[in-house]
Amino acid sequence: MRECISIHIGQAGVQMGNACWGLYCLEHGIQPDGQMPSDKTIGGGDNSVNAFFSKTGAGKHVPRAVFVDLEPTVVDEVRTGTYRQLFHPEQPITCKEDAANNHARGHYTVDKEIINLVLDRTRKLADQCTGL
């Protein structure tokens, strides 16, 4: 089975990712807390859920996704929204300040603080995959 890692960057990416994961949960019958009702897993169930979600030892389905934005407001919507229990606490990544709509400021100064963190979190997700 192939596995996918989603990386959602910036305000638009984070907002689209949040909506997308809500739809994935509806499509696969996963509750906002990551649990799948037992009647969905009886008889083998749908194996395609493993392409987008990893399953913890407690039976919780966690998205293979990273949310990144320099400005924390939009990512905080993911942290406090309907699906706040779905995501691992390390998946949303923010900085203390944004680039103030200045690409050079974001590229050369602000993002240097979090780029290694983003790469590390993505690497951790990739290491958990067997068929990326």
Residue by residue, DSSP assigns 29-98 as T--TTS---HHHHTTS--TTHHHHEEE-TTS-EEE-EEEEESSHHHHHHHHHSTTTTTS-TTSEEE-SS-
Any idea what DSSP says for residue 108?
Answer: I
Reported pTM: 0.85
**pLDDT computed for residue 45 by the predictor:** 56
**pLDDT computed for residue 42 by the predictor:** 44
**pLDDT computed for residue 33 by the predictor:** 93
**pLDDT computed for residue 107 by the predictor:** 72
Contacts of 27 (CB under 8 A, 6+ apart): none
Residues of the chain with pLDDT under 70: 38-46, 110-111
**pLDDT computed for residue 43 by the predictor:** 44
Tokens of 13: 């990416």
CATH classification code of 6-127: 3.40.50.1440
Tokens 């509806």 correspond to what residue?
26
Confirm if 91 and 63 have CB atoms less than 8 A apart.
yes
**pLDDT computed for residue 54 by the predictor:** 92
- Alpha carbon distance 100, 83 (integer Å): 28
